[in-house]
Structure 1
Amino acid sequence: MNNPCKILEGGIEYSLGSYDGRQMIYEFPKMLLYLEAKGKLLFGKDFKIYKRDHQLLHKLCNYYIRDHRNCKRYELDLEKGLLLSGPVGCGKTSILKLLRYLVPHYRGYEVIPCRNIVFGFNHIGYKTIEDYGNSGFICFDDIGVEPTGRFFGKDCNVIGEIMLSRYDLFLEYKVRTHVTTILNAEELEERYGQRVRSRMRKMFNLVAFDNNSIDKRK
């Protein structure tokens, strides 16, 4: 039987913990080693995981491997998605792209920039809202700073409308949604309105980088 704790990347085998034939026991230091190695493959040799981010990563890793005990300690609801916030360049998008690889047999999610979704709306209209609002496990990247949609002269808060549809999807089919943002709760409410913000509270676990996190792109 294959050992699900072992992942092969770039010809190197990484162990994420141990497997007794029935259950996997993950080890956080090993997960960090794997995530950094995978990050270098995806984003370039300069990618690194910073010690100051270890606590946040521990929280996110336990959410993704569905460790019920630690998620209860962190007050993370496994039925909800993630709203990962933090300043520009802190690594939000990279981390959510990386987490998908921790458990290869889990259903993955697409990471899609919100600005691209709005550009799509501007070209093809309301089908874009239907496509992103009614299906799929999606991470909406950089929510809240995308431009206003405009189709045939009519403005539309595209991502706000999609979030309303995703809320219905969450209630009826338990489909989770992830988002990243540089905005705080008040700014999100200002951008999308109280109705959307109220639904987002029910859809997401709020996880935040420190506001003083450095810009890792520099």
Structure 2
Amino acid sequence: MTISSHFDYKEVLRRLQQKGQESFGRHFRLLKEDLPVIIPIVAWMLRDEEVAGQCKIDLNKGIYLAGPVGTGKTQLMHLMRCLTDRHYDYEVYSCPKIAIDFAYSGISAILPYTYSNMDVKRSVAAICCFDDLGKEIVSIR
């Protein structure tokens, strides 16, 4: 994958790998075959319009990252936080935990993840990363 940008993506990827090894262990590696998934996410995090255009992603939309269990999606999203500008920083939330909170507390448990939770500095909803979406335990009453 050849990209052109004013950002030094080789350095960004080197930094991500180093941070990943510090956070997750020396075994952590960014694999070449994963770059077609990683590069657009990096472009989104850096708000890099040039690479976003090359990757055909819209920086005004969110990211949907799906894949088999155990492939490093959660680690990747935690790791990417080191690239975000403070205005685009986000938290990673567990959907099964949100579902349990909803079961106990009702609608008030999900309000923090809606447009009612505005980031006043940006006048938009806070950015959230929902982990394990679709893994919630469904209880029938």
Q: Deviations over 1:114-164 (max 9, x none)?
A: 0011111122222112222232321011111211267xx5xxxxxxxxxxx
- Answering whether residue 20 of structure 2 is matched by residue 39 of structure 1, we say yes
Q: Unaligned stretches of 5+ in structure 2?
A: 118-125
Aligned CA-pair RMSD: 2.0
- Answering whether residue 138 of structure 2 is matched by residue 148 of structure 1, we say yes
Identity %: 32
Judged with a 3 Å threshold, the aligned counterparts in structure 2 of structure 1 residues 125 and 105 are, in CA distance, closer, same or farther, namely closer
Rg larger for: 1
Query: Which has a greater percent of strand?
Result: 1
Correspondence 1:1-218 to 2 at 5 A: 25-133=6-114, 134-135=116-117, 136-148=126-138, 153=141
TM-score (norm 1): 0.54
TM-score (norm 2): 0.80
* Deviation beyond 4 Å, 4+ runs, structure 1: none
Rounded to whole Å, the distance in 2 between the matches of 1:117 and 1:149 is 14
The answer to whether the 8 A contact 1:119-1:149 is kept is no
The answer to whether the 8 A contact 1:108-1:137 is kept is yes
Q: Aligned-pair distance for 1:52? A: 1.2
Judged with a 3 Å threshold, the aligned counterparts in structure 2 of structure 1 residues 149 and 74 are, in CA distance, closer, same or farther, namely farther
Rounded to whole Å, the distance in 1 between the matches of 2:50 and 2:81 is 21
Amino acid corresponding to residue 119 of structure 1 in structure 2 = I
Query: Which has a greater percent of helix?
Result: 2
Q: Unaligned stretches of 5+ in structure 1?
A: 1-23, 154-218
